[in-house]
Structure formats: C-alpha cells, structure tokens
C-alpha cells in the first residue's frame, strides 16, 4: 500500500486534539513519529508516511496478527447474512460461539455472557457473584488491573485512575499476592462474595502469581462459600501458553474471563465463562443483566474461527516463546545496568529498566526504529512485549535486533 498524503496525518492529529485530548495528539505523534496508521496485515502496520513497523504490542489484541484471513472471511460471511440481532428472536450465532468456547476450555464452565470489552466481563462476573451469594465483599489482589469502568475500577489497584471519582464500588479488599493466608483472613473478617485474580498481572509489569498461593486461595474461598473468578482477559487463549492459565494449573475457578484476542484481532468481543453456581441469578432471571450488543453476531461469529486459528499456531507460539526467552535474557546480560530484569511467560514479556527515564528512552528509540510495544501505565519502568502467535523467525530476529539497538542507545546516554 502506498503512503497517504502528509496532510491526512496532520488533519488526524488536529481532530484528535480538538475532539479527544491534546495529550493524545502529542502521544500519537511521538509513537508514530508524525505518522498515523494506514494499513495492517499479519505482524506489520504500514504508516501514513510509508514506513512499515513491526507490531509486538497492541495491548494483547493482535494475537493472530492483523486481518487474519479466516477471521476476516467470517466477518464478511456474516455481513452478507445478518449483521445485527433483533434481540427478541434468537440468533444461532452466539449459542454456537458459547458452545465452542466452553468446549475449548474443557467443559465444566458451561455458561457464557458475551460483552464487547474486558470490563464488561469483569462487571457481570462480580455482579453475579454478589447476587449468587447474597454477600457484598470482593477480594482482589494488590497490583491488579481489571478495567476502568466504575465497578471494575474498584478492583483495579491503582490510585491514579480513582482520583476524583471515589467512593467507587464499596466492599473491595485488596490483598498481597504473596500471602497464602490472605483469603482465609479475609473470609474471617468479611462476608466475601468472590475472589478475583489475574494469574499473570500483565499491567503490573508482567507479574506471575504463585500458583500454589492461588490454589490455597481457591480452597479457602470455596470453604467459606465464596466464588473464584480468574481474569484472563489479557493472558488467556494461549497468550501465556495454555488455553486458560488457571484451568491448566488445576485451579477450581468458577469463572474465566476472556477478551482481547477472542475477536481474532478484528472485532471487539469478550466473555465471562462461568459454572452454574456463579451464573445462577441469570438462570433464574435472564433479564437481570443484559446489554444491547451482548452476543452481537459480528463479534460472536468469529469466535469459533479465531479459536481454531489460535490452536493451529500453538506450536509456533512455543517456538516464539523459546526464542524470545533466550534473546531477552542475552540482552539482559549484555546491559545489566540498564535492563535490570526480564520476566514473562508464553507470548507476554516484561522488561524492567533502571528508571522510568531509561524506559522512556527505550520507547523513544523503538518508535524511531519501528517496533510497536506496549508500555505499562501502572509501572513506568516496565515495557511489555506481546508478539503475535503467528510471528515467524524473521520477525522475532528483527524484534530482538531493534530492541538491542534501542537499549544500547539508552544505555549510552
């Protein structure tokens, strides 16, 4: 695809500044080096000035890369049939997606609520847990990120996003991720409806929670009659290896929340996949929680196709993980004073730098060199790498080379 006229980029930034935020315009100019997105395919994004950049970011959405042909074809097929739903006559598309998704996770969690974004899944799961148990307290984890809607924001552990709008949802307790006794103590002190955790805290700098601690939390929660919700919106669907991190670890959770890559990188869709106990309020009255675009045909039509495409690439994902692990550790050893730690699992990696300024210098270098990554807004010293599961050897080699150059530049300052 040819470059777009420079005026188009300038007009885009003018509109962003006028209708959204001047700060977003500045940030967009920085990350795109004055250009805007024009075209995308596979692992690459072509910008308005003709440059091609490698996308290892997109906040975990582009697991299958951009415009995966099977996913795009599923959307096109649906466009030729029926693009929306009457919401009174039943559509066959969402039930098929729900069946495919529950079978994909191995059965046991057989009830599904579809949303458009991750916060939708968080909101409904907590709402159902409170209604199912008749209790109000929800236990979340320090460092958690579950979204920025008013309900989900109470679970998110970052005061930056809460300033000026508190009080939020009441009855939320945050516990240490390293304390096996945390839930046992919480259920003694509070009437706990649910425990919610991310098995890998992506926004918190890619922090892997101890599975033994999580297992103890599940045991103590269930013993007290509370429910357990695993938020895998960013880390599930083979982003961190297995289909579900929690279920693969044998954790007896009552719900797994999914999103981001669930729409194949093409359409926005999320899901709260629950057992009957958590979903019980909607079994009694399906109108207790509804949304106009829940189970939207365009979104749910791609789910079976996206899951199948992800599974075909599972082996490649393991190769990408191995190559990244080796390359990032070598980079850490080469620049120990700049790159202080590397953490990750599967296709989610965090690079911790000496200071926010150092991380900023690396981001500047990557923007100039042409590698898209995802910063951690909660941890400014950390940069996230989220490679597509379809990435090939050449893309991995290029990404590591660009990272090495950016770190070298920052370390030399």
What does the H/E/C string look like for the chain? CCCCCHHHHHHHHHHHHHHCCHHHHHHHHHHHCCCCEEEEEECEEEECCCCEEEECCHHHCCCCCECCHHHHHHHHHHHCCCCCCCCCCCCCHHHHHHHHHHHHCCCCCCEEEEECCHHHHHHHHHHHHHHHHCCCEEEEECCCCCCCCHHHHHHCCCHHHCCCCCCCCCCEEEECCCCCCHHHHHHHHCCEEEEEECCEECCCCCEECCHHHHHHHHHHHHHCCCEEEEECCCCCCCCCCCCCHHHHCCCCCCEEEECHHHHCCCCCCEEEEECHHHHHHHHHCCCCCCCCCCCCHHHHHCHHHHHHHHHHCHHHHHHHHHHHHHHHHHHHHHCCCCEEEEEEECCEEEEEECCHHHHHHHHHHHHHHCEECEECCCCCCEEEECCCCCCCHHHHHHHHHHHHHHHHHHHCC
Q: What is the pLDDT of residue 16?
A: 95
- Alpha-carbon distance of 98 to 113, in angstroms, equals 8
Q: Which of 34, 41, 42, 39 is nearest to 2 (CA)?
A: 39
**Could you identify the residue written with the tokens 């509370």?**
226
- 112-155 residue pLDDT tens: 999 999 999 999 999 999 999 999 999 999 999 999 999 999 99
Contact between 59 and 260 (Cβ < 8 Å)? yes
Q: Which residues contact 56 (CB under 8 A, 6 or more apart)?
A: 43, 371, 372, 373, 385, 386, 387, 388, 391, 399
Q: What is the pLDDT of residue 92?
A: 96
Q: What is the pLDDT of residue 413?
A: 83
- Alpha-carbon distance of 157 to 145, in angstroms, equals 6
Kind of pairing between the strands at 172-175 and 137-141: parallel
Q: What is the pLDDT of residue 245?
A: 98
Q: What is the pLDDT of residue 112?
A: 98
pTM: 0.96
Contact between 236 and 286 (Cβ < 8 Å)? no
Q: What is the pLDDT of residue 157?
A: 94
Q: What is the pLDDT of residue 377?
A: 85
Q: Give the CATH class of 313-413.
A: alpha beta
- Alpha-carbon distance of 116 to 165, in angstroms, equals 24
Which part of the chain has CATH 3.40.640.10? 69-312
- Alpha-carbon distance of 111 to 274, in angstroms, equals 5
Tokens matching residue 338: 């700049």
Check if CATH label 3.40.640.10 holds for domain 69-312: yes
Q: pLDDT tens digits for the chain (413 residues)? A: 445 566 689 999 999 999 999 999 999 999 999 999 999 999 999 999 999 999 999 999 999 999 999 999 999 999 999 999 999 999 999 999 999 999 999 999 999 999 999 999 999 999 999 999 999 999 999 999 999 999 999 999 999 999 999 999 899 999 999 999 999 999 999 999 999 999 999 999 999 999 999 999 999 999 999 999 999 999 999 999 999 999 999 999 999 999 999 999 999 999 999 999 999 999 999 999 999 999 999 999 999 999 999 999 999 999 999 999 999 999 999 999 999 999 999 999 999 999 999 999 999 999 999 999 999 988 999 999 999 999 999 999 999 999 999 999 999 98
42: left (phi over 0), alpha (psi -120 to 50) or beta: left
Contact between 242 and 211 (Cβ < 8 Å)? no
Q: Which of 170, 225, 229, 174 is nearest to 196 (CA)?
A: 229
- 199-253 residue pLDDT tens: 999 999 999 999 999 999 999 999 999 999 999 999 999 999 999 999 999 999 9
Which part of the chain has CATH 3.90.1150.10? 313-413
């Amino acid at each position: 695809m040819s470059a777009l006229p420079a005026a188009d980029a300038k007009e885009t930034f003018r509109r962003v500044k006028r209708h959204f935020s001047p700060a977003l315009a500045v940030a967009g100019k920085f990350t795109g080096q004055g250009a805007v997105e024009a075209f995308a395919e596979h692992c690459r994004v072509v910008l308005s000035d003709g440059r091609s950049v490698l996308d290892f970011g997109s906040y975990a959405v582009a697991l299958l890369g951009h415009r995966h042909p099977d996913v795009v074809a599923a959307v096109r097929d649906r466009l030729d049939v029926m693009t929306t739903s009457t919401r009174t006559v039943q559509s066959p598309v969402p039930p098929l997606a729900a069946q495919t998704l529950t079978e994909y996770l191995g059965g046991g969690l057989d009830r599904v609520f579809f949303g458009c974004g991750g916060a939708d899944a968080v909101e409904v799961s907590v709402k159902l847990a409170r209604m199912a148990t008749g209790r109000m307290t929800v236990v979340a984890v320090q460092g958690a990120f579950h979204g920025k809607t008013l309900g989900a924001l109470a679970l998110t552990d970052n005061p930056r996003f809460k300033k000026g709008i508190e009080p939020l949802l009441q009855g939320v307790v945050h516990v240490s991720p390293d304390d096996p006794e945390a839930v046992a103590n919480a259920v003694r002190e509070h009437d706990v409806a649910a425990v919610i955790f991310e098995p890998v805290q992506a926004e918190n700098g890619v922090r892997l929670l101890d599975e033994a601690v999580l297992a103890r939390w599940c045991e103590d929660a269930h013993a007290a009659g509370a429910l357990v919700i695993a938020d895998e919106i960013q880390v599930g669907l083979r982003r961190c290896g297995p289909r579900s991190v929690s279920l693969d670890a044998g954790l007896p959770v009552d719900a797994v929340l999914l999103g981001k890559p669930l729409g194949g990188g093409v359409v926005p869709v999320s899901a709260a996949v629950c057992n009957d106990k958590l979903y019980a309020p909607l079994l009694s009255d399906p109108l207790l929680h509804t949304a106009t675009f829940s189970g939207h045909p365009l979104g749910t039509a791609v789910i079976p196709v996206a899951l199948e495409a992800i599974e075909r690439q599972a082996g490649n994902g393991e190769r990408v993980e191995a190559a990244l692990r080796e390359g990032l550790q070598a980079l850490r050893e080469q620049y120990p004073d700049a790159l202080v730690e590397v953490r990750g699992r599967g296709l989610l990696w965090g690079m911790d730098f000496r200071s926010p300024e150092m991380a900023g210098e690396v981001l500047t270098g990557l923007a100039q060199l042409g590698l898209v990554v995802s910063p951690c807004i909660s941890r400014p010293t950390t940069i996230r790498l989220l490679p597509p599961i379809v990435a090939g050897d050449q893309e991995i080699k290029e990404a590591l080379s660009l990272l090495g150059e950016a770190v070298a530049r920052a370390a030399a300052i």
